[in-house]
């Protein structure tokens, strides 16, 4: 005989399950506000993700989530802000992977990115994009290289910070094209883009979130984009693979990290909560619309291993170009 559950009973079971799930997520934090540190200025890629995911997380756990921008030192100020807070999980950080895997190779840090910081959840990936201000007359990649070659040592390229993918891609561009470009590091994308648009810096490897609106508005020119296919928001821009320059294709994942002192159980609980917030239809749609490519869930161990592999790969780049702190 099949045991049929009455509607009131079924509803009670469902409500209990939902309440249990909510309680499980909330148990990752106390009843105090959750702070999300962003190691970059307001308006940048990390800041956008922190605010979109943080808003949903606040709804899910029923607690305030506050975004705290702490730019500078290639993300070091943000990480130290997080690490100097109690290691209770109330202070998290939304960051790009390069803050852990690229920057520490060229900027002296007071922390070990592989031990002191625990990756919690990788939300999405962002491609890079080569842009210039409209004062640069070149309209495609080949003419851009020719333009930059015409007057050696006159031109420069901006980066989000020393030791970031925008820095390394610029190194590869200069080396492979025989260019003499001065590197000008900034504290994040917005101030760097302002200088590129103003003509103070010539070119920049930015990302497909911050730059496309400026391209559409006629304030920037775009020459190449990362990825194996053209980006939906920039169908007229060839990929670096199409241009025969795959070494310029850099991507970083963006997601949530916390203190390495968190317990495994607390980290797992937080990871599930962040995953739930990131997979909410409204959040996913917003991030995809902005240019993020959403990533499938990874376990904590797999994510930590991917960070180590990326760290080791960038060590090779630093050695190749003799990049020093």
For position 6, what pLDDT does the model report? 54
pLDDT digits (tens, 9 = 90+) for 47-77: 999 999 999 999 999 999 999 999 988 899 9
Is a pLDDT exceeding 60 seen at residue 258?
yes
Domains of the chain (ranges, CATH numbers): 32-125+252-320 (3.40.190.150), 127-248 (3.40.190.10)
Structure confidence at residue 18 as a pLDDT band (50, 70, 90)? very low
Is a pLDDT exceeding 80 seen at residue 106?
yes
Residue 250: strand, helix, or coil: coil
The mean pLDDT value of the chain amounts to 90
Work out the average pLDDT over 137-166.
Answer: 93
Question: What pTM did the predictor assign?
Answer: 0.77
User: What share of the chain has pLDDT > 90, as a percent?
Assistant: 72
b/e map 33-69, b = 16+ CB within 10 Å? ebbbbbbbbeebbbbbbbbbbbbbbbebbebebebeb
Work out the average pLDDT over 149-153.
Answer: 91
- Quick check: 179 and 149 in contact, CB under 8 A? yes
For position 19, what pLDDT does the model report? 42
Work out the average pLDDT over 171-194.
Answer: 92
For position 22, what pLDDT does the model report? 45
* Beta pairing class for 91-96 and 34-38: parallel
The string of DSSP codes covering 91-137 is EEEEEETHHHHTGGGTS--SS-TTTTEEEEEEEEEEEEEEEEETTS-
Burial (0-12, 13-18, 19+ Cβ within 10 Å), 72: middle
């Amino acid at each position: 005989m099949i045991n049929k559950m009455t509607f009131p009973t079924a509803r009670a079971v469902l409500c209990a399950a939902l309440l249990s799930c909510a309680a499980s997520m909330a148990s990752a934090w106390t009843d105090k506000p959750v702070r999300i540190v962003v190691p970059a200025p307001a308006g940048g890629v990390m800041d956008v993700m922190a605010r979109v995911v943080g808003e949903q997380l606040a709804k899910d756990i029923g607690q305030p989530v506050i975004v705290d921008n702490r730019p500078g030192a290639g993300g070091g100020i943000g990480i130290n802000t997080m690490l100097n807070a109690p290691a209770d999980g109330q202070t998290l950080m939304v960051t790009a992977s390069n803050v852990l895997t690229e920057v520490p190779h060229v900027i002296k840090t007071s922390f070990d990115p592989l031990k002191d910081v625990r990756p919690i959840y990788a939300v999405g990936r962002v491609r890079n994009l080569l842009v210039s201000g409209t004062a640069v007359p070149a309209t495609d990649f080949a003419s851009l290289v020719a333009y930059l070659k015409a007057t050696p040592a006159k031109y420069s390229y901006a980066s989000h910070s020393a030791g970031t993918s925008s820095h390394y891609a610029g190194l590869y561009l200069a080396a492979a094209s025989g260019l003499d470009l001065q590197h000008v590091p900034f504290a994040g994308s917005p101030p760097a883009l302002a200088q590129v648009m103003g003509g103070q810096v010539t070119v920049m490897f930015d990302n497909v979130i911050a730059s496309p609106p400026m391209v559409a508005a006629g304030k920037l020119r775009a020459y190449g984009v990362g990825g194996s296919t053209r980006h939906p928001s920039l169908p007229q821009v060839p990929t670096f693979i199409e241009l025969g320059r795959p070494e310029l294709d850099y991507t970083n994942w963006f997601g949530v990290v916390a203190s390495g002192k968190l317990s495994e159980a607390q980290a797992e609980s937080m990871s599930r909560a962040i995953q739930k917030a990131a997979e909410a239809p409204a959040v996913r749609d917003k991030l995809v619309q902005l240019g993020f490519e959403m990533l499938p869930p990874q376990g904590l161990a797999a994510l930590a291993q991917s960070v180590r592999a990326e760290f080791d790969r960038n060590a090779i780049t630093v050695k190749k170009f003799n990049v020093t702190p």
